[in-house]
Structure 1
Amino acid sequence: MTRIPRDKDNDYSAEAAASRRAFLTEQTGAALTHTARFSVDPDALRGNIENFIGVCQIPLGIAGPVKVNGEHASGEFYVPMTTTEGTLVASYNRGMRVTREAGGITVSVVDDHMQRAPVFIFANAREARQFGLWLTDNLDGVRKAAEATTRVGKLDFIQQFAAARFLYLRFNYATGDAAGQNMCGRATREACLWIAANYPGALERWVLSGNMDTDKKHSQLNTLHSRGKRVIAECVIPDALLRERLHVSAEAFFRQRGISNIGAMMAGSSNNGSHAANGIAAVFIATGQDEANVAESQSAIVHSELTEQGDLYYSITLPSLIVASYGGGTGLPTQRECLEIMGCHGQGKARKLAEIIGATVLCGELSLGAAVIADEWVSSHEQYGRNR
C-alpha cells in the first residue's frame, strides 16, 4: 500500500502540501496546477482539514441587497453565495428586489437549541421507566456536570423517548454563537458519566448517541422540535408588484401553492417549497458553515395566503437551520470576509446570520415559484445557466 505523505514535525506547511500534490501527480497523472494556487496560510487550517493539498475554488457571487426586518438583522444586506449553478444568484437577486420594493421581510428566530441524544440500556422496560423518573428528579446534577465542560453551553431540558428496554434521551442545549455539535457531544458525555456514577439502580450500559439527535440528516423530530435555529421569514407582496416584477398574480401564486403542497405530500418530502437547499448551501459554503448540515437545514414549511386586498402573504419556516458566526470554519480567511460582508462575523452574530439566511431563502422561493408559474423557468436557464 502506498501511503499519503505526512510530515510528523509540521504537516500544515506549503512544503507538506506540495509533497502530497507531487505524490498525487505521480500516482494519478493529474496536474494540480489550479489546486496549488491559494493565499491561505496552511498553518491556519489546523482543526479544519487533514492531508491538505490546496484549495477547490468555487465561484463566489453576490446578491442583494435584501431588506431584512429582523430582531437581530435590521436593514439591507448583500449576501455572498458560492455556487456553480448558473441562474441561482440571478434568481435570488430577483426575489430580493421584489421583497425590498414590498417593504422587506420580517424574520424571527423562535427557537434555538442543539442536541445530543444518548441512549441508556436496561434489563427491561420497567427499569428504563424508573430511570426516567430518577433523571427528572436529578436534572440539576446532570445540568451541573454537563455545563462544567463549556463556557457558553447551557443545558435547558432533556426529552425522554422510551422503546423496548431502552430510554433515548435528547439533551437540548443553548450554544451561543457556535453551531455546537462538538460542544454538546462533550457536555453530554460528561453528563452521562455523572449519571452512570450516581444512578442507584441497575444500568446495563449507555451509548453517547442513539441516533435520535439525527445529526446531519433530516427527521420529522427536527421539524417538530427543531435542531439549531427555528427561523420564520414572512412578507406581504402587493399583487401589482408581483405582476410587474415576477409576471404572475397573487391569485395564481396562491393557487399553485395548494397544488404544490399536494405534490410534496404525495412525495413524502421534508420540504413543500421549491429549493431551500440552493440558497442555504450557497451561503453555507461561502461563510464556513458545516456544509453537511444542509441535510437538516433545508427542511422547510412554505405557506401563503391571499389578503383581503388581494395581495400575497408568503412565509417560509426553517425548523432546523444550523449556523454559526464563531468557531469551526467561520474564522478561515475567505469565509471570514464573506461573513464580514453581512456584518456577521464573531460573537453575538449567529442569530443575525440566521435571519439573513431565512430572508434569502424566501427570496429564492418566490423567484423560482414565479418562474415556474410564468413558464420562465427553462428560458432563464437558457439565458444564464448551463444550457446557454
Structure 2
Amino acid sequence: MSNQPSDAAKIPRQQDNYTPESIAERQAFLLKQTGVTLKHVAHSSVDPATLAGNIENPIGMAQVPIGLAGPILINGEHAAGHFYVPMATTEGTLVASYSRGMRVLSEIGGVTTTVVERYMQRAPVFHFENAREAKEFGAWFDAHLADIRTAAEATTSVGKLSHVEQYGVSRMRFLRFNYTTGDAAGQNMCGKATLAACTWIQKNYPHKSRYTLSGAIDTDKKHSHINTLHSRGARVVAEVVLPKEVMQRVMRVDTKALFAARQVSNVGGMLAGTTNNGLHAANGLAAIFIATGQDAANIAESQAGIVYVDLLDNGDLYWSITLPSVIVASYGGGTGLGSQRECLEIMDCYGDGKALKLAEICAATVLAGELSLASAVLAGDWVESHDRLGRNRP
C-alpha cells in the first residue's frame, strides 16, 4: 500500500487529546491513510497524560539511542566533581570521541568552567512618525524604567528584568529586554512579561505610539552577532592548560602542532564566515539537549563559540572556548518527561538551582569534544575511527 495519504482527512482529535484511546485512534488513522504500522513509535513507557503542554496530536515517542560519556572532572562554580554525561545521538564515534577528550581533561586535573552571565530576551520595536520622536521616546523610557520593570515582573514569580538595550534606527526604537529567568530557559516567560511592559508603555506614554512585540533582535532560534556580544542564555567559558607530555602520550599530538592547526582553523573560519571558530560544538550540545529535554531548536544559538588558544613558554597549551548563548533549563519544558528527567538526574541537574550547573557541564563537554576531534585530525585517526565505529552495517 502506498504511504501517501489517501485523502485529505483531518487528524482525529478528542476533547482529552492525551488518553491512550486518542493516541490509538491517531495510530489507526495513520495506518488507514499511509499503510504504516507504528511498531516502534507506538512503544513508550511514558504516561501520555504527562505530555500535555509538550506536544499536540501525539502518536507515540521518538526513540533515540542514549550513550554515556565520561567521567569528566569539572572545576566549576556550579558543577564540581566527576560527571557522567548522557548523550542522545545516532552518530557513531561521537560518544567515544567525547569520552576520549574527557579522559584527558580528567587526567590533568579537570576543566575549569565559569558562567559569566545569563539572560533571556524579548525585543519589541516602537514605531513613530520620525526619528526625533523615536529619540525622545528613548529618553522617556529611561526615565520610567522602574515602572516598566514593575509592570513586566508582575507577570512572573521568577523572571526579573535586568536591563534594556536601546537601538535607534530610522523612525523606530528597538528595545532589547534582558531578563533573568531562574532555572527555566524563559522564552515564553519573557514574551509575557514584555507584552505587559509594552501595554503599560502604550497606556502611559503621552504621545501616539505603536509597537511590534518582537523586532527580531531577540533572535529566537537563530544565531546572531548580537548574541555573541551581549549573551543569550548562559555565557559560559570552559578552559584548561594542556600539558605537552600528556597530549603527546595520550593523544599522540604535539601542542605546537595543535596551536598551529588552530591558526589555520581561524583563517578558514574567517573565510567561511562561521559563527564558531571551533570544530563541532553543535555535536555535543545537540546530544545533551535531546537527552535532557531541552528545546533542540536552540542549538541554532547555543552552538556559537569562540575558541582561544595560547602556546605557553614551557610548551603547554592553554585552550578555552567561550559559548555566549547556551540556552538550557533544569526545570519546565521537556525536562520533566520520563527519560529526559532521568538523564538530568544522572548529572544532578534536575529541578531548582541546577540550570547553571547544566550550562557548565555543557561547556565542559564541548571542550572535551573539541580537544578530541582536533587531536584525531592531526594524529590521522579521524577517518579511521569513523570507519570503524560509525558504520551501521552487517
TM-score normalised over the length of structure 1: 0.99
Q: Secondary structure at the match of 1:315?
A: strand
Q: Secondary structure at the match of 1:234?
A: strand
Deviation for aligned residue 1:241: 0.8
* C-alpha distance after superposition, 1:305-330 (max 9, x if no partner): 11121111110000000000011101
Q: Secondary structure at the match of 1:329?
A: coil
Distance 1:106 1:168 in 2: 37
Distance 1:189 1:180 in 2: 14
* C-alpha distance after superposition, 1:315-364 (max 9, x if no partner): 00000000000111011111000000000000000000001110000000
* Distance change >3 Å, CA 387–CA 375, structure 1 → 2: farther
Distance 1:246 1:191 in 2: 54
Q: 1:4 aligns to what?
A: 11
- Equivalent pairs: percent with the same residue? 62
**Pairing partner for 1:44 from 36, 39, 50:** 50
Distance 2:30 2:171 in 1: 51
Distance 1:129 1:207 in 2: 17
Establish whether residue 243 from structure 1 lines up as the match of residue 216 from structure 2.
no
* C-alpha distance after superposition, 1:214-255 (max 9, x if no partner): 000000000000000000000011111111111101100000
Q: 2:271 aligns to what?
A: 266
Establish whether residue 113 from structure 1 lines up as the match of residue 122 from structure 2.
no
Distance 1:387 1:232 in 2: 35
Question: What pairs up with 1:200-279 in 2 under 5 angstroms?
Answer: 200-203=206-209, 205-279=210-284
Deviation for aligned residue 1:99: 0.5
Moved more, 369-378 or 266-275: 369-378
Deviation for aligned residue 1:387: 6.9
Q: 1:30 aligns to what?
A: 36
Establish whether residue 342 from structure 1 lines up as the match of residue 339 from structure 2.
no
Letter in 2 for 1:2: A
Letter in 2 for 1:230: R
Deviation for aligned residue 1:201: 1.9
Deviation for aligned residue 1:386: 2.2
**Pairing partner for 1:74 from 80, 85, 89:** 80
TM-score normalised over the length of structure 2: 0.97
Distance 1:28 1:264 in 2: 45
Q: Is this contact kept in 2: 1:231–1:321, CA < 8 A?
A: yes
Q: CA RMSD in A?
A: 0.8
Q: Is this contact kept in 2: 1:216–1:295, CA < 8 A?
A: yes
Deviation for aligned residue 1:299: 0.2
Q: 2:325 aligns to what?
A: 320
Deviation for aligned residue 1:380: 0.5
Distance 2:345 2:42 in 1: 26
Distance 1:386 1:168 in 2: 50
Q: 1:137 aligns to what?
A: 143
Distance 2:333 2:284 in 1: 20
Q: Is this contact kept in 2: 1:381–1:387, CA < 8 A?
A: no
Q: 1:183 aligns to what?
A: 189
Q: 1:53 aligns to what?
A: 59
After TM superposition, what 4+ stretches of structure 1 lie above 6 angstroms from structure 2?
Answer: none
| Unaligned residue ranges in structure 1 (runs of 5+) | none
Distance 1:86 1:135 in 2: 53
Distance 2:13 2:392 in 1: 43
| Unaligned residue ranges in structure 2 (runs of 5+) | 1-7
**Pairing partner for 2:156 from 147, 150, 154:** 150
